[in-house]
Amino acid sequence: MTYYKAQTTNSIACCLSCALDKLALLDDDHQGLSSSRNHLSTAVWLMDEHYRTWHSIIWKHSDRITKQRVREQLKTLAYDAYTAFVQAITLLNDYVEEQLQKERNGEPVTPPPPWWNEMLTSLRLAESAFLKEYHNDITNKQLRLF
């Protein structure tokens, strides 16, 4: 893992935090939005934990076993963060679909706030960074038997 990858971890957490801050401004007590916020919050925490774990050892001076153990922790954290992120996005998409369905049925719907596109951009950037930097970690999770 390079220094760049550690910085990408921090940038993913920042993108997710920005999206979470915007989503918290949405004044809607919809259950899906609440769950989406919770999942995004979990993803932010996990990426922060990933960053702290990366910096928890001195890579140049650590032994092979320590490096291997920390790499496994980093892979698990990346996978879990991406999983929480995907769950948040799924719930957010379900909310949008419900709003569109209400609009099609002629029910009154509040238009999206002016910051909605900024939030979507933050989520797209986070997803792009996840897939670029942690593709192997999130697609090739190995089962541990012991």
Query: Across residues 90-101, what is the average pLDDT?
Result: 93
Q: What phi, psi does 29 have (nearest 5°)?
A: -95, 25
Share of the chain above pLDDT 70, in %: 90
Contacts of residue 56, Cβ cutoff 8 Å, sequence gap at least 6: 70
Q: Alpha-carbon distance 107 to 109, whole Å?
A: 6
Work out the pLDDT band at 142, boundaries 50, 70, 90: low
Confidence (pLDDT) at 1: 46
Give the number of other CB atoms < 10 A from CB of residue 93: 12
Confidence (pLDDT) at 5: 53
CB 96 within 8 A of CB 112: no
